[in-house]
A and B are shown apart, each in its own frame.
Chain A
Amino acid sequence: AQSVTQPDIHITVSEGASLELRCNYSYGATPYLFWYVQSPGQGLQLLLKYFSGDTLVQGIKGFEAEFKRSQSSFNLRKPSVHWSDAAEYFCAVGGTSYGKLTFGQGTILTVHP
Protein backbone atom coordinates (compact mmCIF):
# COMPACT_ATOMS: atom_id res chain seq x y z
CA ALA A 1 0.00 0.00 0.00
CA GLN A 2 1.16 3.49 -0.69
CA SER A 3 1.86 5.92 2.13
CA VAL A 4 3.29 9.36 2.70
CA THR A 5 5.09 10.63 5.75
CA GLN A 6 5.70 14.26 6.56
CA PRO A 7 7.89 14.09 9.66
CA ASP A 8 7.44 17.71 10.67
CA ILE A 9 4.01 18.64 11.96
CA HIS A 10 4.86 22.28 12.53
CA ILE A 11 7.72 24.41 11.27
CA THR A 12 8.45 28.02 12.14
CA VAL A 13 10.79 30.17 10.08
CA SER A 14 11.60 33.83 9.88
CA GLU A 15 10.60 35.78 6.83
CA GLY A 16 13.40 35.72 4.30
CA ALA A 17 14.85 32.49 5.62
CA SER A 18 15.11 29.37 3.53
CA LEU A 19 12.63 26.54 3.91
CA GLU A 20 12.67 22.81 3.44
CA LEU A 21 9.64 20.63 4.12
CA ARG A 22 10.30 16.92 4.21
CA CYS A 23 8.27 14.22 2.54
CA ASN A 24 8.95 10.51 2.37
CA TYR A 25 6.78 8.10 0.47
CA SER A 26 6.24 4.42 0.06
CA TYR A 27 5.08 3.19 -3.29
CA GLY A 28 5.68 0.01 -5.25
CA ALA A 29 6.36 1.60 -8.62
CA THR A 30 7.35 4.98 -9.98
CA PRO A 31 5.11 7.39 -8.18
CA TYR A 32 3.40 10.56 -9.17
CA LEU A 33 4.29 13.08 -6.47
CA PHE A 34 2.58 16.31 -5.54
CA TRP A 35 2.86 19.19 -3.15
CA TYR A 36 -0.26 21.14 -2.26
CA VAL A 37 -0.80 24.18 -0.07
CA GLN A 38 -3.94 24.79 1.96
CA SER A 39 -4.83 28.05 3.64
CA PRO A 40 -7.30 27.99 6.55
CA GLY A 41 -10.78 27.05 5.39
CA GLN A 42 -9.63 26.85 1.80
CA GLY A 43 -9.19 24.11 -0.72
CA LEU A 44 -5.95 22.82 -2.07
CA GLN A 45 -3.68 24.62 -4.48
CA LEU A 46 -1.15 22.63 -6.44
CA LEU A 47 2.39 23.91 -5.97
CA LEU A 48 4.15 21.40 -8.15
CA LYS A 49 4.12 17.81 -9.31
CA TYR A 50 6.55 15.18 -10.48
CA PHE A 51 5.69 12.54 -13.02
CA SER A 52 9.01 11.72 -14.70
CA GLY A 53 12.09 13.32 -16.18
CA ASP A 54 14.11 15.98 -14.41
CA THR A 55 14.12 15.19 -10.71
CA LEU A 56 14.21 18.84 -9.73
CA VAL A 57 10.79 20.29 -10.25
CA GLN A 58 9.94 23.96 -10.29
CA GLY A 59 6.58 25.10 -9.06
CA ILE A 60 4.61 28.22 -8.44
CA LYS A 61 5.40 30.89 -5.88
CA GLY A 62 9.12 30.16 -6.03
CA PHE A 63 8.86 26.61 -4.68
CA GLU A 64 10.84 23.67 -5.95
CA ALA A 65 11.07 20.03 -4.99
CA GLU A 66 13.58 17.31 -5.66
CA PHE A 67 12.66 13.68 -6.25
CA LYS A 68 15.24 11.30 -4.81
CA ARG A 69 14.33 7.75 -5.61
CA SER A 70 17.11 6.26 -3.49
CA GLN A 71 15.77 8.05 -0.44
CA SER A 72 12.08 7.79 -1.36
CA SER A 73 11.86 11.50 -0.73
CA PHE A 74 10.29 14.51 -2.38
CA ASN A 75 11.27 17.48 -0.24
CA LEU A 76 9.88 20.92 -0.89
CA ARG A 77 12.17 23.93 -0.79
CA LYS A 78 12.03 27.67 -1.07
CA PRO A 79 15.11 29.90 -0.82
CA SER A 80 13.37 32.86 0.81
CA VAL A 81 10.07 32.57 2.62
CA HIS A 82 7.46 35.30 2.52
CA TRP A 83 4.86 35.94 5.23
CA SER A 84 2.15 34.94 2.75
CA ASP A 85 3.60 31.43 2.60
CA ALA A 86 2.18 30.68 6.04
CA ALA A 87 -0.22 27.79 5.47
CA GLU A 88 -0.43 24.03 5.69
CA TYR A 89 1.47 21.99 3.15
CA PHE A 90 0.58 18.51 2.02
CA CYS A 91 2.69 16.04 0.14
CA ALA A 92 0.78 13.43 -1.83
CA VAL A 93 1.54 10.36 -3.90
CA GLY A 94 -0.49 8.82 -6.65
CA GLY A 95 -0.13 5.99 -9.06
CA THR A 96 -1.47 4.88 -12.38
CA SER A 97 -5.00 5.54 -11.19
CA TYR A 98 -4.33 9.18 -11.71
CA GLY A 99 -6.13 11.41 -9.29
CA LYS A 100 -6.45 8.90 -6.48
CA LEU A 101 -4.01 10.43 -4.04
CA THR A 102 -2.65 9.46 -0.67
CA PHE A 103 -1.78 12.47 1.42
CA GLY A 104 0.73 12.99 4.16
CA GLN A 105 -0.26 14.36 7.52
CA GLY A 106 0.57 17.89 6.54
CA THR A 107 3.10 20.42 7.80
CA ILE A 108 1.93 23.71 9.22
CA LEU A 109 4.26 26.55 8.32
CA THR A 110 4.40 29.63 10.52
CA VAL A 111 6.36 32.63 9.29
CA HIS A 112 7.69 35.18 11.78
CA PRO A 113 8.28 38.73 10.61
Chain B
Amino acid sequence: GAVVSQHPSRVICKSGTSVKIECRSLDFQATTMFWYRQFPKQSLMLMATSNEGSKATYEQGVEKDKFLINHASLTLSTLTVTSAHPEDSSFYICSARGIGTGVILDEKLFFGSGTQLSVL
Protein backbone atom coordinates (compact mmCIF):
# COMPACT_ATOMS: atom_id res chain seq x y z
CA GLY B 1 0.00 0.00 0.00
CA ALA B 2 0.91 3.63 -0.24
CA VAL B 3 3.40 4.88 2.31
CA VAL B 4 4.09 8.26 3.80
CA SER B 5 7.53 8.67 5.28
CA GLN B 6 8.01 11.24 8.01
CA HIS B 7 11.40 12.23 9.41
CA PRO B 8 12.77 12.57 11.95
CA SER B 9 10.74 10.35 14.24
CA ARG B 10 12.10 12.08 17.31
CA VAL B 11 14.00 15.31 17.80
CA ILE B 12 15.27 17.14 20.85
CA CYS B 13 16.37 20.72 20.44
CA LYS B 14 17.30 23.73 22.46
CA SER B 15 14.90 26.60 22.93
CA GLY B 16 15.29 29.20 20.19
CA THR B 17 16.45 26.82 17.48
CA SER B 18 14.51 25.78 14.40
CA VAL B 19 13.48 22.26 13.53
CA LYS B 20 12.47 20.91 10.13
CA ILE B 21 10.19 17.93 9.74
CA GLU B 22 9.83 16.20 6.38
CA CYS B 23 6.86 14.34 5.03
CA ARG B 24 7.29 12.33 1.84
CA SER B 25 4.82 10.32 -0.18
CA LEU B 26 6.83 7.36 -1.40
CA ASP B 27 4.79 5.80 -4.16
CA PHE B 28 2.10 8.28 -5.03
CA GLN B 29 1.72 11.95 -5.80
CA ALA B 30 0.31 13.97 -2.97
CA THR B 31 -1.35 17.14 -4.16
CA THR B 32 -2.40 17.99 -0.63
CA MET B 33 -0.71 17.40 2.67
CA PHE B 34 -2.05 18.07 6.13
CA TRP B 35 -0.12 18.80 9.29
CA TYR B 36 -1.51 17.89 12.70
CA ARG B 37 -0.30 18.42 16.22
CA GLN B 38 -1.04 16.24 19.20
CA PHE B 39 -0.32 17.38 22.73
CA PRO B 40 0.03 14.71 25.43
CA LYS B 41 -3.26 13.03 26.29
CA GLN B 42 -5.08 15.12 23.69
CA SER B 43 -6.41 14.51 20.24
CA LEU B 44 -4.89 15.48 16.95
CA MET B 45 -5.56 19.01 15.89
CA LEU B 46 -5.20 20.16 12.32
CA MET B 47 -2.62 22.92 11.98
CA ALA B 48 -2.52 23.58 8.29
CA THR B 49 -3.27 22.31 4.83
CA SER B 50 -0.69 22.59 2.09
CA ASN B 51 -1.25 22.25 -1.61
CA GLU B 52 1.64 21.67 -3.94
CA GLY B 53 2.95 24.89 -5.35
CA SER B 54 0.83 27.23 -3.28
CA LYS B 55 0.82 28.77 0.16
CA ALA B 56 -0.41 26.73 3.05
CA THR B 57 -3.74 27.42 4.69
CA TYR B 58 -3.47 27.64 8.44
CA GLU B 59 -6.15 26.86 10.99
CA GLN B 60 -7.27 29.53 13.37
CA GLY B 61 -4.82 30.08 16.17
CA VAL B 62 -1.81 28.60 14.37
CA GLU B 63 0.99 31.09 13.77
CA LYS B 64 2.04 30.87 10.14
CA ASP B 65 5.31 32.68 10.80
CA LYS B 66 6.23 30.18 13.45
CA PHE B 67 5.20 27.06 11.62
CA LEU B 68 6.55 27.38 8.10
CA ILE B 69 5.17 24.91 5.61
CA ASN B 70 6.67 24.26 2.23
CA HIS B 71 5.12 21.95 -0.36
CA ALA B 72 7.40 22.44 -3.31
CA SER B 73 6.85 19.08 -4.98
CA LEU B 74 4.15 16.44 -5.29
CA THR B 75 6.05 14.13 -2.97
CA LEU B 76 7.47 16.37 -0.28
CA SER B 77 6.13 18.76 2.30
CA THR B 78 8.15 20.22 5.15
CA LEU B 79 7.14 21.82 8.42
CA THR B 80 9.68 24.07 10.08
CA VAL B 81 9.14 25.06 13.67
CA THR B 82 11.00 28.33 13.96
CA SER B 83 12.48 29.58 17.20
CA ALA B 84 11.07 26.61 19.04
CA HIS B 85 10.06 26.95 22.67
CA PRO B 86 9.13 24.32 25.26
CA GLU B 87 5.43 24.91 24.64
CA ASP B 88 5.98 23.73 21.06
CA SER B 89 6.91 20.30 22.37
CA SER B 90 4.37 18.00 20.83
CA PHE B 91 3.77 15.09 18.47
CA TYR B 92 3.55 16.35 14.89
CA ILE B 93 2.08 14.16 12.22
CA CYS B 94 1.45 14.66 8.54
CA SER B 95 -1.01 13.10 6.18
CA ALA B 96 -0.94 13.05 2.42
CA ARG B 97 -3.82 12.86 0.03
CA GLY B 98 -3.21 11.04 -3.20
CA ILE B 99 -5.43 11.24 -6.23
CA GLY B 100 -6.71 8.13 -7.93
CA THR B 101 -8.93 8.26 -10.96
CA GLY B 102 -10.44 11.56 -10.02
CA VAL B 103 -13.55 10.19 -8.38
CA ILE B 104 -13.57 11.33 -4.80
CA LEU B 105 -14.01 7.84 -3.45
CA ASP B 106 -10.74 6.89 -5.06
CA GLU B 107 -8.82 9.49 -3.19
CA LYS B 108 -6.49 8.04 -0.65
CA LEU B 109 -5.35 9.52 2.60
CA PHE B 110 -2.28 8.25 4.40
CA PHE B 111 -0.57 9.28 7.60
CA GLY B 112 3.09 9.49 8.41
CA SER B 113 4.50 7.89 11.53
CA GLY B 114 4.84 11.19 13.34
CA THR B 115 7.60 13.27 14.90
CA GLN B 116 7.98 13.72 18.63
CA LEU B 117 9.48 17.16 19.23
CA SER B 118 10.94 17.99 22.61
CA VAL B 119 12.20 21.52 23.17
CA LEU B 120 14.45 22.00 26.17
Which residues in B have their C-beta under 8 angstroms from that of A102? Answer: 46
Nearest CB of chain B from residue A10's CB, rounded to whole Å:
11
Contact (A103, B44) CB under 8 Å given A41-B116, A42-B113, A44-B93? yes
Classify the interface of chain B: helix, strand, loop or mixed: strand
Contact of A113 with B by CB under 8 A: no
Interface residues on A, range: 20 to 34
Q: Chain A: which residue is nearest B96 at the CB level? A: A99
Classify the interface of chain A: helix, strand, loop or mixed: loop
Contact (A105, B114) CB under 8 Å given A98-B97, A99-B34? no
Q: Chain A: which residue is nearest B115 at the CB level? A: A43
Number of interface residues of B (CB under 8 A): 24
Q: Chain B: which residue is nearest A106 at the CB level? A: B43
28 pairs from A and B in contact (CB 8 Å cutoff):
A41-B9, A41-B114, A42-B113, A42-B114, A43-B6, A43-B111, A43-B112, A44-B44, A44-B95, A45-B111, A46-B109, A52-B105, A90-B43, A90-B44, A96-B104, A98-B107, A98-B109, A99-B34, A99-B49, A99-B107, A100-B46, A100-B49, A101-B46, A103-B36, A103-B43, A103-B45, A104-B43, A105-B42
